Amino acid sequence: DQDSRERELRHQATHDPLTGLANRAMFNERLAEVAEDGRVGVLFLDLDRFKQINDTLGHDHGDEVLRRVARFLVEGVRREDVVARWGGEEFALLLPSTRASDALRLAERLRQALEDLDLGVTASFGVAEYLPGESEEALFRRADQALYRAKERGRNRVEFIPGG
């Protein structure tokens, strides 16, 4: 029927087909909703040396690693948090009502647990906290800069760039 078709199209427009996670459009939509309420933490994470997995074990194995990481992330956060596939082997987490210190603790816990999972992959994390009135672009730029810093400083680590 028409309603279920519309729901299906909406789901396809807002979710990543490989992992079932939210996509950027859905992430941005939720950020706009929760930013009005105040504190919001954002984590960007990128799987370290993921290209090696695809190159040595094949893309099917790489896809399975992405699906398992997606499941791991969803299971590791609260129901109100949003886990999105940002692109390639990069993920983003939206943490409503979360201070930077709590976002940093979560990022470190996830980083360690992912390493312990033994999927053959580690992750670098960039953390930022939304500042009232800040643009999405500025927030994402800080989270991305923190992620880049984590990669630059040796990977498999968490970095934070405060705003203001």
Catalytic residues: 89
Q: Residue 47: which H helix or E strand, with range? A: strand 40-47
DSSP 160: E
Separation between Cα atoms, residue 83 and residue 24, nearest integer Å: 10
Separation between Cα atoms, residue 32 and residue 74, nearest integer Å: 21
In Å, what is the CA distance from 75 to each residue of 16, 61, 80, 118, 124? Answer: 17, 21, 12, 17, 19
Contacts of 21 (CB under 8 A, 6+ apart): 15, 70, 73, 74, 83, 84, 85, 91
